[in-house]
Amino acid sequence: MQNSFFNDSLDKKSIKQRIRKLSKAKVGFYSIGLYPASLAYNSAMQKSEKSLLLAPRPGRDLLGAFSEDDIKGMDPRHVVKMRRMAHHKDESESVPNTLEYLIIKCDLVLLSANSKYIEKDLAEACHIREKLNRHNVVLACLAGSFNHDESTNNSYVLCEKNPNLAFFSGFHRHGALRDPLDSFTANFCHPDALTALIGAHMLNKLSPNIQVSPGIHNVEAQYIKAAKNIASIFAGFGYEYHRQHPGLLPTLLTLLLHQCLDQAATVSMSRQDRHKLYSQQTIALTELGYAVPRIEATLNKGGFTERARDHTFSQLTAMVADVRGSMMLPVKGKPTRNFQAGQALAHGMHEHGRCPISIEEFEQWCENAGLNKGALEGLKALKYWPQIEEKYSIQHHDASMVNLLYKGLYGSEVEKDFAFEVMTESRQLSNYCQESVRHTHSRKYAEALNNIEQPDALELISNAVIANNAKKAIRNDISIEEREIQPDDPAYLQVMDYIEQGA
């Protein structure tokens, strides 16, 4: 998929003309939901609406994502401007904008549908772009979930399937976007640094309240968004169920944040365009705001090192802020919808004394709380989690919180019982947070210290003390690496064993 503001011309005159045009270009949002509509309201409020065009999905109202109370709180003058952004004159008649109209009039089109529609919208946009010979219209998405191919039963990150698709996101509160004095940050990511720089510049003009920074990590950014939506459910649960345990929440929230980033760091290493991402850029990454060109972690494997993770993307401040902010209970207004789903989970588990019997029961708990299940991207992402974990070789200790939530919602009856005990008892959850982040093999040392009277345990520790024999012991001593689930093990260990053994 070609996705650039420029063709392959080397003619400086035509390129300069193109750059001048881009400096005055319009941005289009297709399939208007809560976020793009709030952003449009902000642009109207700040008198920047001339840079933005809107096109609601056919059959959808421009303000359909807002509650009646939200609409009542809006300034009618700004709403009029929003409707003006979504219409154009056809002879003397005012008609709604379409995706095709956006591709004709805009040089950057953001497909803002969720995971249910985004692939279909992307295919349609590419077809229209080809038909109209508008090859230099850049396409971007906002979808924060994993996509799934029913025919192959394969789940993936959409930007990984379409490496040149841009991704736009950042932390926001929908209420904040309707506040004339509040502001927010965002990242516009495209694997070509120049495209990212120009796209961020165009989006930055939508409002003085919006600060958009460029980045090259579109795959990682979209993955973080999807993982963050899952983590927000757990965060909402933690805030609601453990509100009387303030000592637990910082540990829980820190772990949720770090694991989102650790997972994306592993995903980054699987990019097929990794080499080009860093070595073939016209603009240095430091010119985009990156502190260094690359941050990599290595893994020692029996005397040789192997590149294991890329952490450069973590310098995308707005994406990291998105994770943090989405797991916070705001002082004013409502938390994110996924966070509210976690609160609904806490209420349901407290009322029934168990995990949901089925995912349909959890969806009913959400709808009883006033949440539309179709808007819960975190729940959609969690459905495909086992395939994502396997596809990108994500280690259990980097995803222990997602795995615990998955067992609580999709596990067997026995697994749900243990998950319920761990999620609802402060001490169990605290122990789980501490122990589950350890690599599976590293726990053999902790177990050996607790069972030092056993010859195998004593042998393992003594070998570790003797430096010359330590590597041999780590590689070859598997006598207590494999452990069976014991009936008297605490619940947090039971859950960890079920996760690690793939039960």
- How far, in Å, are 31, 174, 439, 468 from residue 171 at the CA level? 20, 10, 31, 50
Residue 109: what residue type?
Answer: V
Quote the CA–CA distance of 477 and 343 in Å, as a whole number: 45
Q: Are 345 and 236 in contact (CB under 8 A)?
A: yes
Give the 3-state DSSP-derived string for 10-75, with helices as H, strands as E and coil as C: CCHHHHHHHHHHHCCCCEEEECCCHHHHHHHHHHHHCCCHHHEEEECCCCCCCCCCCCHHHHHCCC
Q: Are 37 and 69 in contact (CB under 8 A)?
A: no
Q: Are 191 and 166 in contact (CB under 8 A)?
A: no
- How far, in Å, are 91, 156, 384, 388, 502 from residue 150 at the CA level? 44, 12, 11, 14, 23
Q: Could you identify the residue written with the tokens 């950057």?
A: 108
Among 327, 334, 326, 294, residue whose Cα is nearest residue 312: 294
DSSP 69: H
Helix (H, G, I), strand (E, B) or coil at 213: strand
- pLDDT attached to residue 373: 85
Quote the CA–CA distance of 87 and 83 in Å, as a whole number: 7
Quote the CA–CA distance of 379 and 27 in Å, as a whole number: 30
Quote the CA–CA distance of 167 and 165 in Å, as a whole number: 7
Q: Could you identify the residue written with the tokens 């729940």?
A: 379
Kindly report, residue by residue over 206-216, the tens digit of the pLDDT.
998 889 999 99
Structure tokens at 351: 């009322």
Residue 247: what residue type?
Answer: G
DSSP 464: H
- Number of helices (H) and strands (E) in the chain: give both, helices first: 23, 13
Phi, psi of 477 (to 5 degrees): -85, 100
Residues 6+ apart with CB under 8 A from 145: 114, 115, 226, 229, 377, 378, 380, 381
Helix (H, G, I), strand (E, B) or coil at 3: coil
Residue 76: what residue type?
Answer: P
Structure tokens at 305: 């090192």
Domain ranges of the chain: 12-143, 225-440
Q: Are 95 and 87 in contact (CB under 8 A)?
A: yes
- How far, in Å, are 248, 443, 468 from residue 426 at the CA level? 7, 22, 42
Structure tokens at 497: 């064993």
Chain mean position to CA 179: 25
- pLDDT attached to residue 73: 87
* Beta strands at 154-156 and 52-55: parallel, antiparallel or unpaired: unpaired
Residue 48: what residue type?
Answer: S
Q: Could you identify the residue written with the tokens 């607790």?
A: 450
Q: Are 33 and 114 in contact (CB under 8 A)?
A: yes
Quote the CA–CA distance of 244 and 217 in Å, as a whole number: 39
Q: Are 107 and 18 in contact (CB under 8 A)?
A: no
Q: What Rg do the C-alpha atoms of the chain give, in angstroms?
A: 25
Please work out, in degrees rounded to the nearest 5, the angle formed at the alpha carbon of residue 341 by the alpha carbons of 336 and 347: 130
Phi, psi of 413 (to 5 degrees): -60, -40
Q: Which residues pair with 108 in a beta bridge?
A: 27, 138
Taking 70 as the pLDDT cut, the residues of the chain under it are 171-176, 301-303, 439-450, 457, 461, 464, 467-485, 503
Alpha helices in 205-316 (DSSP H): 218-241, 249-269, 274-279
Please work out, in degrees rounded to the nearest 5, the angle formed at the alpha carbon of residue 267 by the alpha carbons of 263 and 270: 155
- pLDDT attached to residue 467: 44
**Number of residues assigned to the chain:** 503
- pLDDT attached to residue 299: 76
Structure tokens at 282: 């016209």
The CATH code that applies to domain 12-143 is 3.40.50
Quote the CA–CA distance of 359 and 365 in Å, as a whole number: 10
CA atoms within 13 A on the CB side of 483: 20
* Cβ burial 444-463 (10 Å sphere, 16+ → b, else e): bbeebeeeeeeeebeebeeb
Quote the CA–CA distance of 157 and 280 in Å, as a whole number: 23
* Predicted structure pTM score: 0.88
Residues 6+ apart with CB under 8 A from 411: 355, 419, 498
